[in-house]
Structure 1
């Protein structure tokens, strides 16, 4: 089981897009998260040591990340955390990786404009010729496919 994590931090590298062999898009970027504390001796805010995370966002989330965020912006990332040990010759270390389920701008220090993308709809298979007619839907039923929600 992977741990779920939510972090707030600054993007350290512009997102890069790559694709799996089957064409699935993946946007990848690095994010730094650090603690801020007030230093009473200097009467100023001080940043702690940053923790760096590698973030991967798949499919439409990855495409939206690529179009929406860039290096230096402050974001919130939620996803599955994996801690991985690595070795490269004489060097070794630990990498923290997040498979993102949500990414968004952190709005305490700025604003953003949201643009909804058109939903991807697959055409349903036609019903068999001997299938009964579907039940009629009451007029104004907001749960009907394609209907506006009341809120």
Structure 2
């Protein structure tokens, strides 16, 4: 059984895109996650230890990461964690590797614009919908051709 992990950190270099021998797209990136804590004596926030993670992103998610994520951007990564030992001559070490299940920008540090793929729009479309319907905020949605949609209902707590 693999452990699930969620990390928040900065991308160390632009993602590297390649294809496996069977044609499967895969993107590799490194993410640095730095602990932040409040130092009461200094009266300020300080950086703690930085952990580096190797992240592998496969198939369509990998293609989307390659098109969307750049060096220095803050991201949230959810995936399965594997700790691997390595040796190269006299050197050895341990790597923390994440097989990503989800990757997104950390919106606490900026904004982003989502562009859905045509496959996602088709999956979101209800079977009984007519040809004019598109999910709110999708590429096909504009002020000129919006279809009547019910207003969201507030749920009292």
Q: TM-score, normalised by structure 1?
A: 0.80
2:78 aligned residue: 78
**Structure-1 residue corresponding to 2:6:** 6
What TM-score do the two structures reach when normalised by structure 2?
Answer: 0.77
Which string of whole-angstrom CA distances, capped at 9 and with x for unpartnered residues, describes residues 86-108 of structure 1?
A: 11111111000001010000111
Q: Secondary structure at the match of 2:61?
A: helix
- State the partner residue of 2:103: 103
Correspondence for 1:37: 37
Q: Which residue of 1 aligns with 2:138?
A: none
Written as runs of structure 1 = structure 2, the 5 A alignment for 1:2-151 is 2-119=2-119, 142-144=126-128
Q: Deviations over 1:9-57 (max 9, x none)?
A: 1111110101100111101100011210011222211111111000010
- Structure 1 runs (4+) deviating above 3 angstroms are 141-151
**Aligned partners of 2:74 and 2:134: how far apart in 1?**
32
RMSD: 2.1
Which blocks of at least 5 consecutive residues in structure 2 are unaligned? 136-148, 153-157
Superposed displacement of residue 143, structure 1: 4.4
CA–CA distance in 2 between the matches of 1:144 and 1:75? 37
Count of residue correspondences: 131
Structure number with the higher helix fraction is: 2
Render the CA deviation track for 1:72-125: whole Å, top value 9, x for unaligned: 1100000111100111111111000001010000111110000001118xxxxx
Indicate the SS of the match to 2:119: coil
Q: Which residue of 1 aligns with 2:146?
A: none
Q: Distance in 1 between matches of 2:7 and 2:128?
A: 36
Q: What SS is found at the alignment partner of 1:99?
A: strand
